Structure 1
Amino acid sequence: MESLLLYSVFNGLVVGIFYALMALGLSLILGLNGVINFAHGTFMALGGYIAFTIEPYVGFWGSLIVAPLLTVILGLAVERVLIRPLYGRDPLFSLLLTFGLAMIMEDLIRTIWGAVGRPFVLPGYLNAPLSNTFFFLTGYRVVLILITIVVTGALFAVLRYSRIGIRIRAGNADLETISAMGVNIFFLRAANFGIGIFLAGVAGILAAGQLGLSPSIGSSLIMPSFVAIIVGGVGSLVGSVLGGLIIGIASGITAAFFPVAQEVVIYVIMAIVLVIRPRGLLGQEGLFE
Protein backbone atom coordinates (compact mmCIF):
# COMPACT_ATOMS: atom_id res chain seq x y z
CA MET A 1 0.00 0.00 0.00
CA GLU A 2 2.79 2.42 0.89
CA SER A 3 4.61 1.68 -2.36
CA LEU A 4 1.42 2.24 -4.36
CA LEU A 5 0.79 5.53 -2.56
CA LEU A 6 4.35 6.71 -3.16
CA TYR A 7 4.12 5.69 -6.81
CA SER A 8 0.84 7.58 -7.21
CA VAL A 9 2.16 10.71 -5.49
CA PHE A 10 5.28 10.76 -7.65
CA ASN A 11 3.30 10.25 -10.86
CA GLY A 12 0.98 13.05 -9.79
CA LEU A 13 3.96 15.27 -9.02
CA VAL A 14 5.33 14.76 -12.52
CA VAL A 15 2.00 15.67 -14.14
CA GLY A 16 1.65 18.54 -11.68
CA ILE A 17 4.95 19.92 -12.97
CA PHE A 18 3.45 20.16 -16.46
CA TYR A 19 0.40 21.92 -15.04
CA ALA A 20 2.63 24.29 -13.07
CA LEU A 21 4.79 25.27 -16.06
CA MET A 22 1.71 25.80 -18.20
CA ALA A 23 -0.04 27.78 -15.46
CA LEU A 24 3.02 30.01 -15.00
CA GLY A 25 2.99 30.99 -18.65
CA LEU A 26 -0.78 31.46 -18.70
CA SER A 27 -0.65 33.59 -15.55
CA LEU A 28 2.09 35.82 -16.96
CA ILE A 29 0.18 36.43 -20.19
CA LEU A 30 -3.10 36.96 -18.38
CA GLY A 31 -1.56 39.40 -15.91
CA LEU A 32 0.20 41.91 -18.19
CA ASN A 33 -1.30 41.20 -21.61
CA GLY A 34 -4.84 40.66 -20.34
CA VAL A 35 -5.23 37.69 -22.67
CA ILE A 36 -6.86 34.39 -21.73
CA ASN A 37 -4.64 32.35 -24.02
CA PHE A 38 -6.52 29.21 -25.04
CA ALA A 39 -3.82 28.57 -27.67
CA HIS A 40 -1.23 28.06 -24.91
CA GLY A 41 -1.68 24.30 -24.94
CA THR A 42 -1.17 24.20 -28.70
CA PHE A 43 2.07 26.16 -28.34
CA MET A 44 3.08 23.52 -25.82
CA ALA A 45 2.38 20.76 -28.36
CA LEU A 46 4.22 22.74 -31.01
CA GLY A 47 7.31 22.94 -28.79
CA GLY A 48 7.25 19.17 -28.39
CA TYR A 49 6.88 18.52 -32.12
CA ILE A 50 9.65 20.98 -33.02
CA ALA A 51 11.92 19.19 -30.55
CA PHE A 52 10.90 15.85 -32.09
CA THR A 53 11.89 17.18 -35.53
CA ILE A 54 15.27 18.64 -34.63
CA GLU A 55 16.37 16.06 -32.04
CA PRO A 56 18.08 13.78 -34.64
CA TYR A 57 20.30 16.74 -35.59
CA VAL A 58 20.99 18.48 -32.27
CA GLY A 59 20.30 15.72 -29.73
CA PHE A 60 17.96 15.77 -26.75
CA TRP A 61 19.78 18.50 -24.82
CA GLY A 62 20.11 20.67 -27.90
CA SER A 63 16.41 20.32 -28.69
CA LEU A 64 15.59 21.28 -25.10
CA ILE A 65 17.28 24.63 -25.74
CA VAL A 66 16.48 25.30 -29.40
CA ALA A 67 12.85 24.13 -29.61
CA PRO A 68 11.44 26.54 -26.96
CA LEU A 69 13.25 29.44 -28.66
CA LEU A 70 11.77 28.53 -32.05
CA THR A 71 8.35 28.28 -30.39
CA VAL A 72 8.87 31.76 -28.94
CA ILE A 73 9.57 33.16 -32.42
CA LEU A 74 6.27 31.76 -33.67
CA GLY A 75 4.51 33.03 -30.56
CA LEU A 76 5.88 36.54 -31.03
CA ALA A 77 4.66 36.53 -34.63
CA VAL A 78 1.17 35.58 -33.44
CA GLU A 79 1.28 38.26 -30.74
CA ARG A 80 2.35 40.95 -33.20
CA VAL A 81 -0.09 40.12 -36.00
CA LEU A 82 -3.18 38.80 -34.21
CA ILE A 83 -3.19 39.63 -30.52
CA ARG A 84 -1.66 43.12 -30.34
CA PRO A 85 -4.55 44.78 -32.21
CA LEU A 86 -6.92 43.49 -29.50
CA TYR A 87 -5.13 45.09 -26.53
CA GLY A 88 -7.45 47.43 -24.68
CA ARG A 89 -10.58 45.79 -26.05
CA ASP A 90 -12.98 43.43 -24.31
CA PRO A 91 -11.05 40.29 -23.19
CA LEU A 92 -13.75 38.21 -24.87
CA PHE A 93 -12.24 39.09 -28.26
CA SER A 94 -8.82 37.69 -27.39
CA LEU A 95 -10.42 34.64 -25.76
CA LEU A 96 -12.37 33.84 -28.94
CA LEU A 97 -9.32 34.56 -31.09
CA THR A 98 -7.00 32.24 -29.17
CA PHE A 99 -9.71 29.55 -28.96
CA GLY A 100 -10.03 29.55 -32.75
CA LEU A 101 -6.26 29.79 -33.14
CA ALA A 102 -5.81 26.70 -30.97
CA MET A 103 -8.06 24.66 -33.25
CA ILE A 104 -6.30 25.92 -36.38
CA MET A 105 -2.84 25.21 -34.96
CA GLU A 106 -3.86 21.73 -33.82
CA ASP A 107 -5.09 20.93 -37.33
CA LEU A 108 -1.81 22.26 -38.76
CA ILE A 109 0.10 19.95 -36.43
CA ARG A 110 -1.97 17.01 -37.68
CA THR A 111 -1.32 18.05 -41.27
CA ILE A 112 2.45 18.41 -40.83
CA TRP A 113 3.26 15.58 -38.41
CA GLY A 114 0.22 13.32 -38.77
CA ALA A 115 -2.73 12.51 -36.54
CA VAL A 116 -1.07 9.44 -35.02
CA GLY A 117 0.98 9.92 -31.87
CA ARG A 118 4.76 9.90 -32.08
CA PRO A 119 7.23 8.54 -29.51
CA PHE A 120 9.77 11.06 -28.31
CA VAL A 121 13.04 9.14 -28.06
CA LEU A 122 15.08 9.83 -24.93
CA PRO A 123 18.73 8.97 -24.31
CA GLY A 124 18.95 5.44 -22.93
CA TYR A 125 20.67 6.49 -19.72
CA LEU A 126 17.72 8.72 -18.81
CA ASN A 127 15.18 5.90 -19.14
CA ALA A 128 16.88 3.58 -16.67
CA PRO A 129 15.43 3.34 -13.13
CA LEU A 130 17.71 4.68 -10.42
CA SER A 131 16.55 2.13 -7.88
CA ASN A 132 15.18 -1.42 -8.00
CA THR A 133 12.85 -0.63 -5.12
CA PHE A 134 11.55 2.65 -6.53
CA PHE A 135 11.32 1.52 -10.14
CA PHE A 136 9.28 4.60 -11.09
CA LEU A 137 12.18 6.90 -10.22
CA THR A 138 14.02 7.17 -13.54
CA GLY A 139 16.83 9.46 -14.55
CA TYR A 140 14.51 11.37 -16.85
CA ARG A 141 12.01 12.10 -14.11
CA VAL A 142 14.78 13.43 -11.87
CA VAL A 143 16.10 15.56 -14.74
CA LEU A 144 12.56 16.76 -15.42
CA ILE A 145 12.17 17.95 -11.83
CA LEU A 146 15.60 19.62 -11.83
CA ILE A 147 14.95 21.42 -15.13
CA THR A 148 11.63 22.68 -13.81
CA ILE A 149 13.27 24.00 -10.65
CA VAL A 150 15.99 25.75 -12.68
CA VAL A 151 13.54 27.27 -15.19
CA THR A 152 11.13 28.42 -12.48
CA GLY A 153 13.95 29.83 -10.36
CA ALA A 154 15.38 31.67 -13.38
CA LEU A 155 11.96 33.15 -14.14
CA PHE A 156 11.51 34.50 -10.63
CA ALA A 157 15.08 35.85 -10.65
CA VAL A 158 14.43 37.66 -13.95
CA LEU A 159 11.18 39.13 -12.64
CA ARG A 160 12.80 40.26 -9.42
CA TYR A 161 16.22 41.54 -10.48
CA SER A 162 16.25 42.38 -14.20
CA ARG A 163 15.04 45.69 -15.61
CA ILE A 164 12.50 44.09 -17.90
CA GLY A 165 11.27 41.83 -15.09
CA ILE A 166 10.77 44.79 -12.77
CA ARG A 167 8.87 46.58 -15.53
CA ILE A 168 6.67 43.53 -16.09
CA ARG A 169 5.80 43.44 -12.40
CA ALA A 170 5.15 47.19 -12.41
CA GLY A 171 2.97 46.81 -15.50
CA ASN A 172 0.91 44.17 -13.75
CA ALA A 173 0.25 46.67 -10.98
CA ASP A 174 -0.35 49.79 -13.11
CA LEU A 175 0.25 49.66 -16.85
CA GLU A 176 -0.95 53.21 -17.50
CA THR A 177 1.55 54.72 -15.08
CA ILE A 178 4.61 53.01 -16.54
CA SER A 179 3.37 53.93 -20.02
CA ALA A 180 3.22 57.57 -18.93
CA MET A 181 6.81 57.22 -17.69
CA GLY A 182 7.98 56.40 -21.22
CA VAL A 183 8.12 52.58 -21.09
CA ASN A 184 7.29 50.95 -24.42
CA ILE A 185 4.35 48.83 -23.30
CA PHE A 186 4.02 47.10 -26.69
CA PHE A 187 7.57 45.79 -26.40
CA LEU A 188 6.94 44.91 -22.75
CA ARG A 189 3.81 42.95 -23.58
CA ALA A 190 5.58 41.17 -26.44
CA ALA A 191 8.49 40.21 -24.16
CA ASN A 192 6.07 38.99 -21.49
CA PHE A 193 4.12 36.96 -24.07
CA GLY A 194 7.39 35.47 -25.32
CA ILE A 195 8.38 34.39 -21.81
CA GLY A 196 5.00 32.72 -21.34
CA ILE A 197 5.33 30.87 -24.66
CA PHE A 198 8.89 29.82 -23.74
CA LEU A 199 7.52 28.12 -20.62
CA ALA A 200 4.90 26.37 -22.76
CA GLY A 201 7.64 25.17 -25.13
CA VAL A 202 9.70 23.76 -22.25
CA ALA A 203 6.62 22.04 -20.83
CA GLY A 204 5.89 20.55 -24.26
CA ILE A 205 9.32 18.96 -24.57
CA LEU A 206 9.32 17.61 -21.02
CA ALA A 207 5.78 16.26 -21.43
CA ALA A 208 6.68 14.66 -24.76
CA GLY A 209 9.44 12.66 -23.09
CA GLN A 210 7.04 11.46 -20.40
CA LEU A 211 3.66 11.18 -22.11
CA GLY A 212 4.59 10.88 -25.79
CA LEU A 213 3.52 13.23 -28.56
CA SER A 214 0.04 13.68 -29.97
CA PRO A 215 -1.63 16.72 -31.56
CA SER A 216 -4.02 16.97 -28.61
CA ILE A 217 -1.39 16.78 -25.85
CA GLY A 218 -1.70 20.49 -25.18
CA SER A 219 -5.49 20.64 -25.25
CA SER A 220 -5.64 17.83 -22.69
CA LEU A 221 -3.52 19.88 -20.27
CA ILE A 222 -4.87 23.38 -20.87
CA MET A 223 -8.01 23.21 -18.70
CA PRO A 224 -6.23 21.72 -15.65
CA SER A 225 -3.66 24.49 -16.07
CA PHE A 226 -6.41 27.12 -15.86
CA VAL A 227 -7.73 25.32 -12.80
CA ALA A 228 -4.23 25.51 -11.29
CA ILE A 229 -4.30 29.30 -11.68
CA ILE A 230 -7.70 29.53 -10.00
CA VAL A 231 -6.72 27.20 -7.15
CA GLY A 232 -3.40 28.96 -6.57
CA GLY A 233 -4.90 32.41 -7.02
CA VAL A 234 -5.18 34.64 -10.07
CA GLY A 235 -2.32 37.16 -10.04
CA SER A 236 0.08 34.98 -8.05
CA LEU A 237 2.84 33.17 -9.93
CA VAL A 238 3.81 31.21 -6.81
CA GLY A 239 0.15 30.31 -6.42
CA SER A 240 0.05 29.02 -10.01
CA VAL A 241 2.94 26.66 -9.27
CA LEU A 242 1.36 25.56 -6.00
CA GLY A 243 -2.02 25.02 -7.64
CA GLY A 244 -0.49 22.93 -10.42
CA LEU A 245 1.34 20.67 -7.98
CA ILE A 246 -1.72 20.27 -5.73
CA ILE A 247 -4.12 19.19 -8.49
CA GLY A 248 -1.43 17.01 -10.10
CA ILE A 249 -0.74 15.08 -6.91
CA ALA A 250 -4.45 14.84 -6.08
CA SER A 251 -5.16 13.49 -9.56
CA GLY A 252 -2.32 10.96 -9.27
CA ILE A 253 -3.54 9.60 -5.95
CA THR A 254 -7.14 9.43 -7.17
CA ALA A 255 -6.04 7.57 -10.32
CA ALA A 256 -4.57 4.79 -8.18
CA PHE A 257 -7.57 4.23 -5.91
CA PHE A 258 -10.55 5.58 -7.86
CA PRO A 259 -9.59 5.97 -11.55
CA VAL A 260 -13.05 7.10 -12.68
CA ALA A 261 -12.68 10.30 -10.63
CA GLN A 262 -9.16 11.15 -11.81
CA GLU A 263 -10.28 14.21 -13.75
CA VAL A 264 -13.28 15.08 -11.60
CA VAL A 265 -11.15 15.55 -8.49
CA ILE A 266 -9.37 18.50 -10.13
CA TYR A 267 -12.62 20.43 -10.47
CA VAL A 268 -13.82 19.35 -7.02
CA ILE A 269 -10.67 20.90 -5.54
CA MET A 270 -11.31 24.09 -7.51
CA ALA A 271 -14.89 24.26 -6.25
CA ILE A 272 -13.83 23.74 -2.62
CA VAL A 273 -11.15 26.42 -2.86
CA LEU A 274 -13.54 28.93 -4.47
CA VAL A 275 -16.14 28.33 -1.76
CA ILE A 276 -13.68 28.66 1.13
CA ARG A 277 -11.34 31.27 -0.37
CA PRO A 278 -12.69 32.85 -3.59
CA ARG A 279 -9.41 34.60 -4.39
CA GLY A 280 -7.51 31.28 -4.40
CA LEU A 281 -4.79 30.15 -2.04
CA LEU A 282 -2.39 33.02 -2.75
CA GLY A 283 -4.48 35.24 -5.02
CA GLN A 284 -4.86 38.98 -4.84
CA GLU A 285 -7.71 40.24 -2.73
CA GLY A 286 -10.64 41.61 -4.66
CA LEU A 287 -10.22 39.75 -7.93
CA PHE A 288 -13.18 37.46 -7.27
CA GLU A 289 -14.66 39.00 -4.14
Structure 2
Amino acid sequence: MEILGYPLPAILAQLVVGLVNGSFYAMLSLGLAIIFGLLNVINMSHGAMYMLGAFATWMGLAYFDINYWIMLLIAPVIIGLIGVAIEKTMLRWLYKLDHLYGLLLTIGVASFLEGLMLSFFGVSGVSYSPPSVLGGALDLGFMMLPAYRAFVVLVSVVVCLGTWLAIEKTKLGAYLRAGTENPELVGAFGVNVPLLVTLTYGFGVGLAGLAGVLAAPTVQVSPLMGANLIVVVFAVVVIGGLNSILGSIVTGLALGVAEAVVSMFYPDASATVVFVIMAIVLVLRPAGLFGKEK
Protein backbone atom coordinates (compact mmCIF):
# COMPACT_ATOMS: atom_id res chain seq x y z
CA MET A 1 0.00 0.00 0.00
CA GLU A 2 1.29 3.44 -0.93
CA ILE A 3 0.28 6.98 0.11
CA LEU A 4 1.38 9.78 -2.22
CA GLY A 5 4.05 7.52 -3.63
CA TYR A 6 5.47 6.38 -0.28
CA PRO A 7 4.99 2.84 1.08
CA LEU A 8 2.96 2.60 4.27
CA PRO A 9 5.83 1.09 6.35
CA ALA A 10 8.03 4.09 5.50
CA ILE A 11 5.30 6.51 6.60
CA LEU A 12 4.76 4.60 9.85
CA ALA A 13 8.50 4.67 10.51
CA GLN A 14 8.53 8.42 9.97
CA LEU A 15 5.64 8.82 12.42
CA VAL A 16 7.64 6.95 15.07
CA VAL A 17 10.67 9.18 14.44
CA GLY A 18 8.41 12.20 14.85
CA LEU A 19 7.08 10.81 18.12
CA VAL A 20 10.64 10.57 19.45
CA ASN A 21 11.34 14.21 18.52
CA GLY A 22 7.96 15.20 19.90
CA SER A 23 8.91 13.63 23.23
CA PHE A 24 11.70 16.18 23.63
CA TYR A 25 9.36 18.99 22.56
CA ALA A 26 6.77 17.84 25.09
CA MET A 27 9.15 17.68 28.03
CA LEU A 28 10.81 21.00 27.24
CA SER A 29 7.53 22.78 26.58
CA LEU A 30 6.13 21.31 29.80
CA GLY A 31 8.84 22.99 31.86
CA LEU A 32 8.39 26.23 29.94
CA ALA A 33 4.62 26.12 30.41
CA ILE A 34 4.95 25.49 34.15
CA ILE A 35 7.25 28.48 34.60
CA PHE A 36 5.08 30.79 32.52
CA GLY A 37 1.70 29.45 33.56
CA LEU A 38 2.43 29.55 37.29
CA LEU A 39 5.04 32.32 37.55
CA ASN A 40 4.31 34.46 34.45
CA VAL A 41 7.99 34.36 33.45
CA ILE A 42 9.01 33.87 29.82
CA ASN A 43 12.07 31.72 30.47
CA MET A 44 14.31 32.05 27.40
CA SER A 45 17.16 30.35 29.28
CA HIS A 46 15.27 27.05 29.07
CA GLY A 47 17.31 25.89 26.07
CA ALA A 48 20.54 26.64 27.94
CA MET A 49 19.35 24.52 30.88
CA TYR A 50 18.60 21.69 28.45
CA MET A 51 22.17 22.04 27.16
CA LEU A 52 23.58 22.02 30.71
CA GLY A 53 21.67 18.81 31.47
CA ALA A 54 23.32 17.10 28.51
CA PHE A 55 26.77 18.42 29.44
CA ALA A 56 26.31 17.42 33.08
CA THR A 57 25.64 13.87 31.90
CA TRP A 58 28.77 13.86 29.73
CA MET A 59 30.96 15.40 32.44
CA GLY A 60 29.68 12.93 35.02
CA LEU A 61 31.08 10.07 32.95
CA ALA A 62 34.18 11.80 31.54
CA TYR A 63 35.43 13.37 34.78
CA PHE A 64 33.92 11.34 37.61
CA ASP A 65 33.14 7.96 35.99
CA ILE A 66 29.45 8.28 36.94
CA ASN A 67 27.28 6.17 34.64
CA TYR A 68 24.21 7.27 32.72
CA TRP A 69 21.62 5.87 35.14
CA ILE A 70 22.98 7.79 38.10
CA MET A 71 23.24 10.98 36.06
CA LEU A 72 19.64 10.49 34.92
CA LEU A 73 18.68 10.98 38.56
CA ILE A 74 21.13 13.62 39.76
CA ALA A 75 21.64 15.83 36.67
CA PRO A 76 18.06 17.21 36.72
CA VAL A 77 18.53 17.97 40.43
CA ILE A 78 21.78 19.82 39.71
CA ILE A 79 20.15 21.87 36.94
CA GLY A 80 17.13 22.49 39.15
CA LEU A 81 19.42 23.87 41.88
CA ILE A 82 21.00 26.19 39.32
CA GLY A 83 17.48 27.38 38.52
CA VAL A 84 16.78 27.90 42.22
CA ALA A 85 19.92 30.04 42.52
CA ILE A 86 18.89 32.13 39.50
CA GLU A 87 15.38 32.62 40.87
CA LYS A 88 16.51 33.60 44.35
CA THR A 89 19.32 35.96 43.30
CA MET A 90 17.92 37.59 40.17
CA LEU A 91 14.49 36.63 38.94
CA ARG A 92 12.39 37.18 42.06
CA TRP A 93 13.09 40.91 41.98
CA LEU A 94 11.35 41.18 38.60
CA TYR A 95 7.99 39.52 39.28
CA LYS A 96 6.12 42.79 39.80
CA LEU A 97 7.65 44.40 36.72
CA ASP A 98 6.73 44.05 33.06
CA HIS A 99 7.28 40.60 31.46
CA LEU A 100 9.93 42.18 29.24
CA TYR A 101 12.38 42.43 32.15
CA GLY A 102 12.19 38.70 32.89
CA LEU A 103 12.52 37.95 29.19
CA LEU A 104 15.65 40.08 28.87
CA LEU A 105 17.17 38.62 32.03
CA THR A 106 16.70 35.02 30.91
CA ILE A 107 18.08 35.82 27.45
CA GLY A 108 21.15 37.23 29.20
CA VAL A 109 21.49 34.14 31.39
CA ALA A 110 21.24 31.89 28.32
CA SER A 111 23.87 33.91 26.44
CA PHE A 112 26.23 33.80 29.43
CA LEU A 113 25.88 30.03 29.90
CA GLU A 114 26.28 29.29 26.20
CA GLY A 115 29.32 31.55 25.94
CA LEU A 116 30.86 29.93 29.03
CA MET A 117 30.45 26.43 27.60
CA LEU A 118 31.72 27.56 24.18
CA SER A 119 34.93 28.76 25.79
CA PHE A 120 35.54 25.28 27.22
CA PHE A 121 34.17 22.94 24.56
CA GLY A 122 33.96 24.92 21.30
CA VAL A 123 31.21 24.73 18.72
CA SER A 124 31.62 21.06 17.75
CA GLY A 125 30.90 19.73 21.23
CA VAL A 126 31.27 16.14 22.42
CA SER A 127 29.55 12.78 21.91
CA TYR A 128 27.92 10.46 24.44
CA SER A 129 27.03 6.81 23.86
CA PRO A 130 23.71 5.33 25.05
CA PRO A 131 23.88 2.87 27.97
CA SER A 132 24.81 -0.65 26.84
CA VAL A 133 21.59 -2.18 28.17
CA LEU A 134 19.65 0.00 25.70
CA GLY A 135 22.06 -0.47 22.81
CA GLY A 136 19.89 -2.82 20.77
CA ALA A 137 16.80 -2.26 18.65
CA LEU A 138 13.14 -3.25 18.73
CA ASP A 139 11.55 -4.87 15.69
CA LEU A 140 8.24 -3.07 15.11
CA GLY A 141 7.56 -4.94 11.89
CA PHE A 142 7.86 -1.86 9.70
CA MET A 143 11.15 -0.58 11.20
CA MET A 144 13.92 -1.32 13.65
CA LEU A 145 13.53 1.22 16.44
CA PRO A 146 16.63 1.80 18.60
CA ALA A 147 15.80 0.68 22.13
CA TYR A 148 17.14 3.89 23.60
CA ARG A 149 14.74 6.02 21.56
CA ALA A 150 11.82 3.87 22.72
CA PHE A 151 13.05 4.46 26.26
CA VAL A 152 13.07 8.23 25.65
CA VAL A 153 9.43 8.18 24.52
CA LEU A 154 8.38 6.09 27.53
CA VAL A 155 10.17 8.29 30.08
CA SER A 156 8.88 11.48 28.46
CA VAL A 157 5.25 10.33 28.49
CA VAL A 158 5.46 9.10 32.11
CA VAL A 159 7.13 12.30 33.36
CA CYS A 160 4.78 14.60 31.45
CA LEU A 161 1.59 12.87 32.56
CA GLY A 162 2.86 12.52 36.12
CA THR A 163 3.67 16.23 36.28
CA TRP A 164 0.28 17.19 34.85
CA LEU A 165 -1.52 15.02 37.39
CA ALA A 166 0.55 16.43 40.25
CA ILE A 167 -0.23 20.03 39.31
CA GLU A 168 -3.86 19.62 38.32
CA LYS A 169 -5.11 16.92 40.68
CA THR A 170 -3.24 17.26 43.99
CA LYS A 171 -3.37 19.63 46.95
CA LEU A 172 0.20 20.78 46.25
CA GLY A 173 -0.81 21.72 42.73
CA ALA A 174 -3.78 23.65 44.08
CA TYR A 175 -1.45 25.58 46.41
CA LEU A 176 0.83 26.38 43.45
CA ARG A 177 -2.00 27.72 41.31
CA ALA A 178 -3.56 29.66 44.17
CA GLY A 179 -0.20 31.02 45.30
CA THR A 180 0.50 32.58 41.93
CA GLU A 181 -3.00 34.07 41.57
CA ASN A 182 -3.39 35.43 45.10
CA PRO A 183 -0.14 35.06 47.09
CA GLU A 184 -1.30 37.28 49.98
CA LEU A 185 -4.39 35.17 50.65
CA VAL A 186 -2.48 31.86 50.41
CA GLY A 187 0.28 33.24 52.64
CA ALA A 188 -2.35 34.12 55.25
CA PHE A 189 -3.07 30.38 55.57
CA GLY A 190 0.54 29.71 56.56
CA VAL A 191 1.86 28.64 53.14
CA ASN A 192 5.40 29.80 52.35
CA VAL A 193 4.61 31.27 48.93
CA PRO A 194 8.14 32.53 48.08
CA LEU A 195 9.54 29.05 48.74
CA LEU A 196 6.77 27.54 46.64
CA VAL A 197 7.62 29.88 43.76
CA THR A 198 11.34 29.09 44.02
CA LEU A 199 10.74 25.33 43.99
CA THR A 200 8.35 25.68 41.05
CA TYR A 201 10.96 27.48 39.00
CA GLY A 202 13.60 24.94 40.01
CA PHE A 203 11.30 22.07 39.02
CA GLY A 204 10.53 23.61 35.62
CA VAL A 205 14.24 24.11 34.95
CA GLY A 206 14.95 20.58 36.21
CA LEU A 207 12.60 19.22 33.53
CA ALA A 208 14.75 20.95 30.91
CA GLY A 209 17.80 19.33 32.50
CA LEU A 210 16.10 15.92 32.36
CA ALA A 211 15.35 16.43 28.66
CA GLY A 212 19.05 17.23 28.18
CA VAL A 213 20.07 13.99 29.89
CA LEU A 214 17.73 12.02 27.62
CA ALA A 215 19.01 13.88 24.56
CA ALA A 216 22.74 13.38 25.28
CA PRO A 217 23.02 9.92 23.63
CA THR A 218 20.93 10.96 20.60
CA VAL A 219 22.61 14.20 19.52
CA GLN A 220 26.02 15.84 19.51
CA VAL A 221 26.29 17.51 22.92
CA SER A 222 27.25 21.10 22.11
CA PRO A 223 26.91 24.54 23.75
CA LEU A 224 24.43 25.67 21.10
CA MET A 225 22.21 22.56 21.10
CA GLY A 226 19.43 24.41 22.91
CA ALA A 227 19.71 27.79 21.17
CA ASN A 228 17.59 26.91 18.13
CA LEU A 229 15.40 24.42 19.96
CA ILE A 230 14.06 27.00 22.42
CA VAL A 231 12.41 28.94 19.59
CA VAL A 232 10.54 25.84 18.43
CA VAL A 233 9.59 24.90 21.99
CA PHE A 234 8.27 28.39 22.67
CA ALA A 235 6.14 28.06 19.53
CA VAL A 236 4.83 24.74 20.86
CA VAL A 237 3.79 26.40 24.13
CA VAL A 238 2.05 29.22 22.26
CA ILE A 239 0.13 26.76 20.09
CA GLY A 240 -0.93 24.63 23.06
CA GLY A 241 -1.80 27.65 25.19
CA LEU A 242 0.54 29.58 27.47
CA ASN A 243 -1.58 28.74 30.51
CA SER A 244 -2.17 25.08 29.64
CA ILE A 245 0.23 22.40 30.83
CA LEU A 246 -1.70 19.58 29.17
CA GLY A 247 -1.80 21.62 25.96
CA SER A 248 1.99 21.84 25.90
CA ILE A 249 2.35 18.08 26.32
CA VAL A 250 -0.18 17.14 23.63
CA THR A 251 1.01 19.83 21.22
CA GLY A 252 4.66 18.90 21.68
CA LEU A 253 4.02 15.26 20.76
CA ALA A 254 1.69 16.18 17.90
CA LEU A 255 4.00 18.76 16.34
CA GLY A 256 6.94 16.39 16.47
CA VAL A 257 4.90 13.93 14.40
CA ALA A 258 3.65 16.70 12.06
CA GLU A 259 7.20 17.94 11.50
CA ALA A 260 8.36 14.41 10.62
CA VAL A 261 5.50 13.86 8.15
CA VAL A 262 6.09 17.19 6.43
CA SER A 263 9.83 16.47 6.17
CA MET A 264 8.96 13.29 4.29
CA PHE A 265 6.56 14.80 1.74
CA TYR A 266 7.99 18.33 1.53
CA PRO A 267 11.44 18.53 3.21
CA ASP A 268 11.94 22.24 2.55
CA ALA A 269 8.96 23.09 4.77
CA SER A 270 9.89 20.89 7.74
CA ALA A 271 11.79 23.67 9.50
CA THR A 272 8.92 26.14 9.24
CA VAL A 273 5.80 24.01 9.64
CA VAL A 274 5.65 24.64 13.41
CA PHE A 275 5.66 28.41 12.88
CA VAL A 276 3.05 28.20 10.13
CA ILE A 277 0.79 26.26 12.48
CA MET A 278 1.49 28.80 15.24
CA ALA A 279 0.46 31.68 12.97
CA ILE A 280 -2.77 29.93 11.99
CA VAL A 281 -3.62 29.12 15.62
CA LEU A 282 -2.93 32.68 16.76
CA VAL A 283 -5.28 34.03 14.10
CA LEU A 284 -8.10 31.59 14.85
CA ARG A 285 -7.60 31.13 18.60
CA PRO A 286 -5.16 33.61 20.21
CA ALA A 287 -5.24 31.79 23.57
CA GLY A 288 -3.94 28.59 21.97
CA LEU A 289 -5.63 25.25 21.32
CA PHE A 290 -5.98 24.38 25.02
CA GLY A 291 -5.65 27.86 26.52
CA LYS A 292 -8.38 29.69 28.36
CA GLU A 293 -9.72 32.89 26.85
CA LYS A 294 -9.56 35.82 29.27
Shared fold per TM-score greater than 0.5: yes
Contact 1:30 1:37 in 2 (8 A): yes
Give 3-state SS (helix, strand or coil) of 1:89's partner.
Answer: coil
Q: What does the per-residue CA deviation read over 1:68-92, in whole Å, with 9 as the maximum and x for residues that have no partner?
A: 1111111111111111111211111
Whole-angstrom CA distance in 2 between matches of 1:166 and 1:132: 41
Q: What does the per-residue CA deviation read over 1:159-214, in whole Å, with 9 as the maximum and x for residues that have no partner?
A: 24554332112234433432343422211110100110111011111122222311
Match among 186, 194, 198 for residue 202 of structure 2:
194
Whole-angstrom CA distance in 1 between matches of 2:193 and 2:72: 30
Give 3-state SS (helix, strand or coil) of 1:218's partner.
Answer: coil
Q: Structure 1 92/193 Cα, relative in aligned 2: closer, same or farther at 3 Å?
A: same
Whole-angstrom CA distance in 1 between matches of 2:92 and 2:53: 22
Aligned twin of 1:65: 73
Q: Does 1:55 align with 2:54?
A: no
RMSD: 1.8
Whole-angstrom CA distance in 2 between matches of 1:6 and 1:175: 48
Aligned twin of 1:280: 288
Q: Which moved more, 1:26-35 or 1:188-197?
A: 26-35
Note the 1:87-166 alignment, pairs <5 A.
87-131=95-139, 133-160=141-168, 162-166=170-174
Aligned twin of 1:238: 246
Aligned twin of 1:46: 52
Letter in 1 for 2:15: V
Whole-angstrom CA distance in 2 between matches of 1:78 and 1:171: 20
Whole-angstrom CA distance in 1 between matches of 2:167 and 2:140: 41
Letter in 2 for 1:39: S
Higher-helix-fraction structure: 1
Aligned twin of 1:2: 8
User: Could you list the runs of 5+ residues in structure 1 that have no partner in the other structure?
Assistant: none
Give 3-state SS (helix, strand or coil) of 1:147's partner.
Answer: helix
Contact 2:44 2:106 in 1 (8 A): yes
Contact 1:26 1:37 in 2 (8 A): yes
Q: Which moved more, 1:162-171 or 1:243-252?
A: 162-171
Note the 1:12-31 alignment, pairs <5 A.
12-31=18-37
Whole-angstrom CA distance in 2 between matches of 1:48 and 1:134: 31
Aligned twin of 1:36: 42
Aligned twin of 1:209: 217
Whole-angstrom CA distance in 2 between matches of 1:58 and 1:141: 21
Q: Structure 1 136/101 Cα, relative in aligned 2: closer, same or farther at 3 Å?
A: farther
Letter in 2 for 1:259: P
- TM-score, normalising length from structure 1? 0.93
Give 3-state SS (helix, strand or coil) of 2:43's partner.
Answer: coil
Compute the displacement of 1:62 (Å).
0.8
- TM-score, normalising length from structure 2? 0.91
Contact 2:82 2:202 in 1 (8 A): no
Whole-angstrom CA distance in 1 between matches of 2:241 and 2:121: 37
Give 3-state SS (helix, strand or coil) of 1:118's partner.
Answer: coil
Q: Structure 1 134/58 Cα, relative in aligned 2: closer, same or farther at 3 Å?
A: farther
Identity over the aligned pairs, expressed in percent? 37
Contact 1:106 1:216 in 2 (8 A): yes
Letter in 2 for 1:19: Y
Q: Does 1:224 align with 2:232?
A: yes
